[in-house]
Amino acid sequence: MKQIYFLIMGLVGVVVLEGCPFGGGGGDTKGEAIGVRYSASPSSEVPVGMAYIPSGTFLMGQTDQDITFAQIAQTKQVTIPAFFMDQTEISNSKYRQFVNWVRDSIAITSYLNDPKYYVGANAKGVAAPNPSGKKYINWQYVNQHPIWGRGPKKGVDANAAKLQNMYYQGDDRVFDRNELDVRLLKYNYAMPLLREAAEYKNDKSKKRSDFILRDTVAVYPDTLVWLSDFSYAANEPMVEGYFSHPSFKDYPVVGVTWKQARAFTIWRTRFNEAYKQSRHLAPRAPYQLPTENEFEYAARGGRIGTDYPWGGPYIKNAKGCLLANFKPGRGNYSDDGGTYTVKVKSYFPNDFGLYNMAGNVAEWTQSAFDPSASTFVNDLAPTFNYEAKKNDPEVMKRKVVRGGSWKDVGYFLQNSSRSYEYQDSAKSYIGFRCVTHFQGRDLRDKR
């Protein structure tokens, strides 16, 4: 019977790890099955900027009295395996690293056409032939010889003429300034659709390629959301500076769609994987958006039956200080310390060390939205995912948004509150953070 298999970590990573076995490939095993020798051991490192979230169980759903009859699904006890989660929302600075990587990739492959920037280039700048016929960018060389810049930097002036077409042209220019045409910044990626592959694994008519999603995503944030989200609001300064000005580098990125957020997780996975492979280290589990149940579990910080990430049923502490960035009154946005968003490491973290799991920006999850999802998802690592097709009705393109934002009232800051937005929508109040799942034993296991 024809079967479909997916190799999750990639062929190159497996080659690096498996080395020579004791038996069959070298070494005297005396005819015993004693396992395969690995050239690199799995690492228990905590990824930079992430917090370890131990496995546990919790009561998913609303824990307070349903006074307003707003509860749309029953509560359910579920178990969540251990994982790592970003301590903060993804900042403008981190997302710009992704944008700049895409920018440089396009500049090198489509405009410079300089063989010195590729792996295998010799002293004369000629790239060695690759058996596969593909060329790979030498990022170490790129870091040492930047292709953008100002002033008399070696190589920069020579690149300027070639890169001119990456700027807006003709009537699109303002004061004849060189401004990058962000419409060119598109990220191509492929990913396996494992859930669909599992559903059709015994279907002889299906091929492996039927379960590989290939997509191209424009990566630059929609900066106009600061105007389009609000009627008659003078938010032009936010449009012009929020993503581009250094003053906002530690603020959460906004104006990104669900698809852009997912593209970032795929790039982040490949970026880290390339580093690990170059040093013969064990690969890290892929980065993903959290499921809505992982988000709720992490937001609760290990506490039971609490309304907010900080624990208590109130949004102020004993001194009367507001504990998150939200809209505490009618038209009152600034009493909590921020008129719009605030820095990603603002306020106190919860007991898992996570910042702004309520307020600041609401956050994309990987889960599809269904009002009654809690009634049919599993009680072990629950989630409801659906890969919406282009021609699917809009109702199938809803993704769960969690955490509440700087423009929301207190209700949406509750751990159990859930909302949704369409996957192609970008908002000035929605950002995201990543998770990566733990490989190996629970860090609490000391055996």
Q: SS3 for the chain, per residue? A: CCCCCCCCCCHHHHHHHHCCCCCCCCCCCCCCCCCCCCCCCCCCCCCCCEEEECCEEEEECCCCCCCCCCCCCCCEEEEECCEEEECCCCEHHHHHHHHHHHHHHHHHHHHHCCHHHECCECCCCCECCCCCCCCCECHHHHHHCCCCCCCCCCCHHHHHHHHHHHECCHHHCCCCCCCECHHHCEEEEEEECHHHHHHCCCCCCCCHHHHEEEEEEECCCCCCHHHHCCCCCCCHHHHHHCCCCHHHCCCECCCCCHHHHHHHHHHHHHHHHHHHHHCCCCCCCCEECCCHHHHHHHHHCCCCCCCCCCCCCCCECCCCCECCCCCCCCCCCCCCCCCCCCCCCCCCCCCCCCCCCCCCCEEEEEEECCCCHHHCCCCECCCCCCCCCCCCCHHHHEEEEECCCCCCCHHHHCCCCEEEEECCCCCCCEECCCEEECCCCCCCCCC
Give the mean model confidence (pLDDT) for residues 345-359.
Answer: 97
Residues 260 and 368 both lie in one domain: yes
Residues 354 and 219 both lie in one domain: no
pLDDT at 200 over 50: yes
Give the mean model confidence (pLDDT) for residues 122-127.
Answer: 57
What 334-342 contacts at long range (C-beta under 8 Å, 24+ apart), as own/partner pairs, is 338/406, 340/238, 340/406, 340/428, 341/251, 341/252, 341/254, 341/406, 342/251, 342/406
pLDDT at 42 over 90: no
Residue scoring higher pLDDT (146 or 359): 359
Which residues is 288 bridged to in the sheet? 435
Cβ-Cβ contacts under 8 Å for 68 (sequence gap 6 or more): none
Q: Is residue 14 part of a domain?
A: no
pLDDT at 11 over 50: no
Beta strand pairing call for 56-60 and 76-80:
antiparallel
Residues 108 and 77 both lie in one domain: no
Residues 278 and 415 both lie in one domain: yes
Domain boundary residue among 245, 268, 300?
245
Domain boundary residue among 191, 221, 245?
245
Q: Is residue 97 part of a domain?
A: yes
Q: Quick one: pLDDT band at residue 119, thresholds 50, 70, 90?
A: confident
pLDDT at 130 over 70: no
pLDDT at 151 over 60: no
Residues 328 and 417 both lie in one domain: yes
Q: Which amino acid is at 74?
A: Q
Q: Is residue 9 part of a domain?
A: no
pLDDT at 344 over 60: yes
Average pLDDT, the chain: 87
pLDDT score at 74: 77
Q: Quick one: pLDDT band at residue 446, thresholds 50, 70, 90?
A: very low
Element (H, E) at 102: helix 92-106
Q: Is residue 5 part of a domain?
A: no
Domain boundary residue among 245, 270, 292?
245
Residues 123 and 146 both lie in one domain: yes
Name the phi and psi angles at 399, rounded to 5: -120, 145
CATH at residue 387: 3.90.1580.10
Residues 308 and 369 both lie in one domain: yes
Give the mean model confidence (pLDDT) for residues 157-184.
Answer: 92
pLDDT score at 317: 87
Q: Is the pTM of this model over 0.75?
A: yes
pLDDT score at 89: 98
pLDDT score at 246: 96
Element (H, E) at 192: strand 186-192
pLDDT at 256 over 70: yes
Residues 172 and 270 both lie in one domain: no
Residues 240 and 251 both lie in one domain: no
pLDDT (tens digit per residue) in 380-425: 999 999 999 989 999 999 999 999 999 999 989 999 999 999 999 9
Residues 149 and 235 both lie in one domain: yes
Q: Is residue 240 part of a domain?
A: yes
Which residues is 188 bridged to in the sheet? 216
Q: Is 103 left (phi over 0), alpha (psi -120 to 50) or beta?
A: alpha
Q: Quick one: pLDDT band at residue 159, thresholds 50, 70, 90?
A: confident
pLDDT (tens digit per residue) in 283-341: 889 999 999 999 999 999 999 888 999 988 889 988 889 999 999 988 899 999 999 99
Q: Quick one: pLDDT band at residue 78, thresholds 50, 70, 90?
A: very high
pLDDT score at 22: 43
* Counted domains in the chain: 2
pLDDT score at 329: 84
Q: Which range marks the domain in which residue 375 is found?
A: 40-83+246-447
Q: Is residue 200 part of a domain?
A: yes
